[in-house]
């Protein structure tokens, strides 16, 4: 290709954010092209096809809220829908709004360069396609750059191996097979409980156990379906008002001010309820006060002991290096009971580290475990990883990767100095990274759309943040994070990924909550975009 297509805006990614951004920019009458590396829409739900993948947000709190017609037409079959249903939903949306005609699939953006003379962005895809636009909007997802360990011998393994986020489109049959799973984060937990149902034998290689809580999924019956459809405004109001865009809001009482009986009864109730209530709807101080958190962790420790028959295995499954909720809580269905099955073996690789992958399986310090299928549930280069995989160059040819090497610096998690007209949906230091994501995506996209409309009306073609605004926002993000116990744990929130030793420990999300974040964004817009330079 030698010709260069020109647009008002280029969007990178056709997941939930990119699809909605396309809908909204079309309404403004702008010309838009979306570039997507997958062969169809869906982002996270396109790639993460591993068995057991499903929501841990209530389905009806997760779908788009922008179209009443869509809300009434679509019916979720379960309170926490499985991945194939979510992907069907996103395809339904793409068909309904005729999105695919503006999306170029199987086009991975390799580079994006700001042209100062024209105040526009040039992008080039891996297959050499080039395009140019005034605005570059990234919708690349916070958990979309998978990471593999760097064990010796991985390429010599003679069985089948897959990273969960690059799962094949054809079903993988586990029956009669010996399966190994490396990783016990939210993905590992979902995949383990599913594979354990059919595999002849399952070996779980666990380095860090997590505090897991029951999902309590169930089908949605006809009456409930009708109630859901009638109460969407209320559902979305509750999400808007909650810290993380969920249907769950914290109890304003402190753990330390209620009696032992009262808190025990409260926790039992939360443990028996569906979804994230146990994390997001807990006493407000479990994530900010170590004593409160210790009590909650002790409650969860007892639950593990009650559910796992062998006390030694229960001990291995109990986290030691972080308190409940300070890392993402995996929601599960019979996860702990899997370890009561005769065909399941838990291998503690903190105690006996993996030394290499062999042609037949996994060799730890103590033994070789033979498997036919090896599953890497080893996570992502979170939040900044998808940006780093594109060579993004701003003013003076400066690389975004280099600018953020010691941790991101942004204004509102939506723009960064030196990269004019680049808008980062669900970017680092944006509340959407720590949220029931479609709720915060809609906020991000609506804000960006309003900004572009304003710029069009006022005759502006160039926007970038002021340096002081970026410094103040970055400082605020770290200050808020330091008030929470989340900043003390090693997790993808803090940028810790042992497969990426060069990645600096920092805080990548915004922990101040989506209502506060939304209010700040609204205030900035109402002031004529205070903190930004518009030309």
By CB under 6 A, name the binding residues for ligand N01. 55-56, 143, 149, 182-188, 190, 205, 207-208, 328, 349, 354, 377-380, 492, 498-499
What are the tokens at 118? Answer: 């024209």
| Rounded Cα distance, 49 and 355, in Å | 29
What is the distance between the alpha carbons of residues 306 and 311, in angstroms, rounded to a whole number?
Answer: 9
User: Toward ligand N01, which CB reaches closer, 498 or 527?
Assistant: 498
How far apart are CB 392 and ligand N01 at their closest, in Å?
Answer: 23
Cβ proximity to ligand N01: between 388 and 470 the closer is 388
For ligand N01, give the closer residue by CB, 48 or 421.
48
What are φ and ψ of residue 141, in 5° steps?
Answer: 85, 145
Q: CA 354, CA 316: separation in Å to the nearest integer?
A: 16
Contact 410/474 with Cβ under 8 angstroms? yes
By beta-carbon proximity to ligand N01, the closer residue of 124 and 332 is 332
Query: Considering beta carbons, is residue 267 or 380 the nearer one to ligand N01?
Result: 380
Contacts of 197 (CB under 8 A, 6+ apart): none
- Spatial separation of the C-alpha atoms in residues 515 and 501, rounded to whole Å: 34
Residue 59 vs 416, nearer CB to ligand N01:
59
Minimum separation from the CB atom of position 80 to ligand N01 (A): 8
Angle (nearest 5°) at CA 426 between 423 and 427: 65
Give me the phi and psi of 408, to 5 degrees please: -70, 150
Give the β-pairing of 120-125 and 361-364: unpaired
For ligand N01, the closer of residues 143 and 296 by Cβ is 143
Pair of tokens at residue 534 = 């518009």
Of the pair 62, 419, the CB lying nearest ligand N01 is at 62
Q: How far is the CB of 503 from ligand N01 (least distance, A)?
A: 12
Nearest distance from C-beta of residue 143 to ligand N01, angstroms: 5
Report the residue number, 212 or 524, with the smaller CB distance to ligand N01.
212
Strands 368-370 and 361-364: antiparallel
Backbone angles phi, psi at 428, to 5 degrees: -60, 145
Contact yes or no for 180/154 (Cβ under 8 A): no
Rg of the chain's alpha carbons, rounded to an integer? 23
The burial class, CB within 10 Å (0-12 / 13-18 / 19+), for 341 is middle
Backbone angles phi, psi at 36, to 5 degrees: -135, 135
d(CA 443, CA 438): 9
Residues in Cβ contact with 45 at an 8 Å cutoff, skipping those fewer than 6 apart: 15, 83, 86, 87, 90
Q: What are phi and psi of 239, to 5 degrees?
A: -65, -45
In the complex with ligand N01, which residue's Cβ is closer, 56 or 124? Answer: 56
With respect to ligand N01, which residue has the nearer C-beta, 27 or 156? Answer: 156
CB of 325 to ligand N01, least distance (A): 12
What is the spatial distance between Cα 217 and Cα 229, in angstroms, rounded to a whole number? Answer: 19
In angstroms, what is the minimal distance from the CB of 331 to ligand N01?
7
Supply the minimum distance, in Å, between the C-beta of residue 349 and ligand N01: 5
Contact 401, 394 (CB under 8 A): no
For 279, the 3-state DSSP assignment is helix
Structure tokens at 124: 């080039």
Shortest distance in whole angstroms from residue 14 CB to ligand N01: 18
Nearest approach in angstroms of CB 436 to ligand N01 is 10
CA 434 to chain centroid, in Å, comes to 8
Q: Least CB distance from residue 50 to ligand N01, whole Å?
A: 9
Nearest alpha carbon to residue 321 among 208, 212, 213, 485: 208
Residue nearest to ligand N01 (CB): 185
CA distance 535 to 527: 16
Q: Are 422 and 495 in contact (CB under 8 A)?
A: no
**Least distance (Å) between residue 321 CB and ligand N01:** 9
Q: C-beta of 62: minimal distance to ligand N01 in Å?
A: 9
Task: Between 141 and 512, name the residue whose CB sits nearer to ligand N01.
Answer: 141
Closer by beta carbon to ligand N01, 47 or else 299: 47
The H or E element spanning position 331 is strand 331-332
* Tokens, residue 20: 């909605």
Shortest spacing between CB 252 and ligand N01, in angstroms: 26
DSSP conformational letter for 415: B
């Amino acid at each position: 290709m030698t010709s260069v297509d020109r647009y008002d805006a280029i969007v990178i990614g056709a997941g939930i954010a990119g699809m909605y951004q396309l809908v909204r920019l079309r309404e403004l009458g702008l010309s838009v092209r979306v570039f997507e590396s997958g062969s169809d829409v869906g982002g996270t739900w396109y790639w993460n096809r591993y068995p057991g993948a499903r929501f841990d947000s209530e389905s009806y709190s997760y779908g788009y809220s922008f179209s009443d017609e869509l809300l009434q037409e679509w019916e979720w079959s379960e309170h926490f829908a499985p991945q194939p249903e979510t992907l069907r939903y996103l395809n339904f949306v793409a068909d309904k709004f005729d999105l695919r005609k503006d999306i170029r699939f199987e086009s991975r953006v390799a580079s994006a360069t700001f042209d100062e003379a024209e105040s526009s962005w040039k992008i080039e895809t891996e297959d050499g396609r080039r395009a140019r636009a005034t605005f570059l909007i990234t919708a690349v997802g916070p958990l979309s750059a998978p990471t593999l360990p760097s064990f010796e011998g991985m390429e010599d393994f003679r069985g089948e191996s897959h990273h969960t986020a690059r799962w094949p489109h054809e079903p993988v049959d586990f029956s009669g097979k010996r399966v190994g799973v490396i990783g016990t984060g939210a993905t590992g937990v979902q995949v383990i409980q599913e594979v354990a149902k059919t595999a002849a034998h399952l070996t779980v290689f666990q380095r860090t156990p997590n505090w897991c809580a029951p999902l309590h999924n169930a089908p949605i019956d006809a009456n409930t379906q009708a109630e859901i459809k009638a109460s969407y405004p209320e559902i979305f109001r509750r999400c808007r008002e909650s810290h993380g865009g969920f249907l769950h809001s914290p109890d304003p009482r402190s753990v330390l001010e209620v009696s032992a009986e009262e808190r025990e009864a409260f926790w039992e109730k939360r443990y028996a309820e569906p979804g994230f209530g146990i994390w997001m709807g807990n006493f407000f101080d479990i994530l900010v006060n170590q004593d409160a958190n210790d009590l909650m962790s002790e409650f969860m420790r007892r639950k593990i002991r009650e559910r796992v028959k062998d006390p030694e295995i229960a001990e291995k499954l109990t986290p030691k290096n972080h308190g409940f909720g300070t890392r993402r809580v995996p929601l599960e269905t019979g996860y702990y009971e899997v370890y009561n099955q005769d065909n399941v073996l838990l291998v503690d690789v903190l105690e006996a580290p993996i030394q290499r992958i062999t042609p037949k399986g996994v060799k730890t310090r103590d033994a070789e475990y033979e498997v036919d299928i090896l599953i890497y549930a080893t996570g992502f280069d979170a939040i900044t990883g998808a940006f780093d995989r594109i060579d993004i160059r701003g003013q003076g040819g400066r690389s975004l990767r280099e600018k953020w090497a010691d941790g991101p610096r942004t204004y509102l998690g939506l723009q960064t100095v030196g990269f004019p007209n680049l808008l980062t949906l669900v970017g680092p230091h944006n509340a959407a990274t720590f949220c029931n994501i479609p709720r915060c995506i809609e906020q991000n996209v609506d804000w960006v759309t309003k900004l572009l409309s304003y710029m069009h009306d006022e005759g502006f073609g160039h926007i970038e943040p002021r340096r002081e605004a970026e410094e103040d926002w970055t400082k605020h993000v770290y200050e808020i994070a330091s008030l929470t116990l989340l900043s003390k744990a090693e997790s993808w929130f803090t940028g810790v990924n042992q497969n990426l030793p060069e990645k600096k420990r920092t805080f990548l999300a915004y922990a101040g909550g989506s209502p506060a974040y939304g209010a700040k964004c609204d205030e900035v817009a109402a002031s004529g975009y205070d903190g930004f330079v518009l030309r």
